A and B are shown apart, each in its own frame.
Chain A
Amino acid sequence: MSRATRYLFVIVTWGVLIALYHAAFQPPKLRTDRFSTGWSLSNNRPAEGHSYSYGEVNQTDLPSKALEPSKPVAHSSTKAIQTASPSKALTPLKTDSRFISWLSARVPVDRVPFITIGDCKYIHALRNFRDRLEHWGYGDDLIVICLDQCCVDARDYHAYTRYIGESVAFVKVSLL
């Protein structure tokens, strides 16, 4: 092997090692790492623009004032939804339904909650859903009836824990 070939071999080897080093220590960039409120560490970027305009639709078909998103949506940088505790600003409704009482302490009554059922397998889908809701100012209105602890621990939405271990069908017909 000639000296030039050996130099070339050393240079190529170093190049490969440096590339491997960068690949190995590069943190994964998830869709939800970009401009969500609940799970990003530091992000002050504004929402990327959407083209929605109220001028496009008949005003009579618009949701009520209470449903109108605050546009553009301001994304707080570090706030995570506190799933375990209610909002201090909200007083729970007095009702026979534990779920409604719990819900009213987290989502104001003049907002429409987005409710779903989830477990470990749906965490990424739920984060993605929340991310989309953020575009319209509905991110804090996401409620997940969790079927396992992993779902509760995700902390990116309001998690209802009373149905852990139940089936989806049971929750759908009995709670909702």
Chain B
Amino acid sequence: VFFDGDAYLTGSIDPFKTMLPLSNDTWDIQFQTDHPEISDYNIGWYFAKATQRTYEFFNRSYAEWNITQEWDQLVMWKVGHVMESEENGLRVHLLSTSDYKVCYSIYEP
């Protein structure tokens, strides 16, 4: 599990409770999302499984970031979306926004 330093656990539930377990074979990486309607990734919290696809995902993200020097989160989202559409591509599971909240979703009405 990777998380940003400004992530905060409320302590109300086990952090693994609503993520898919490692034994589930339907995912390579699980991301928090800011906007589930467009399936974007928030890389402030993700659970990556050690698979060939995730290895390739991080390698391609690094290569792309070296070229563009864009926002790391945007780079990984772009690369991930391409990989998701590929045959035998990256399997991404987006986490529930009710359990994995981003700050503005807490303060928005």
Contacts and interface: CB of A to CB of B under 8 A. Distances in A.
Interface of A: 50, 52, 57, 60-64, 66-67, 69, 112-118, 122, 125-126, 128-129, 132-133, 135-136, 138, 169, 172-174, 176
A3 to B, nearest CB: 59
A169 B22 contact: no
B87 interface: no
Contact of B65 (A66, A114, A125, A173): A173
Given A64-B21, A132-B11, A169 B65 contact: yes
Q: Which of A61, A69, A173, A174 has the most CB of B within 10 A?
A: A173
29 contacts: A50-B11, A52-B13, A57-B17, A60-B24, A61-B17, A63-B16, A63-B21, A64-B21, A67-B16, A67-B21, A112-B22, A112-B47, A114-B15, A115-B1, A115-B2, A116-B3, A116-B7, A122-B5, A126-B5, A128-B8, A129-B8, A129-B9, A132-B9, A132-B11, A133-B9, A136-B15, A172-B72, A173-B58, A173-B65
B45 to A, nearest CB: 10
Contact of B2 (A63, A66, A176): A176
A138 B13 CA distance: 13
A61 B43 CA distance: 22
A93 to B, nearest CB: 11
Interface residues of B, number: 34
Q: Which of A66, A115, A136 has the most CB of B within 10 A?
A: A136
Interface of B: 1-24, 43, 47-48, 58, 61-62, 65, 72, 75-76
A118 B21 contact: no
A48 B11 CA distance: 11
Contacts of B72: 169, 172-173
Nearest to A128: B8
A173 B62 contact: yes
Contacts of B19: 63
Given A63-B19, A114-B1, 4 more contacts: A57-B17, A61-B17, A173-B61, A176-B2
Contacts of A63: 14, 16-17, 19, 21-22
The 4 closest A-B pairs by CB, nearest first: A132-B9, A122-B5, A63-B16, A63-B21
Contacts of B65: 169, 173
Q: Which of A63, A133, A136 has the most CB of B within 10 A?
A: A63
Contacts of B43: 172
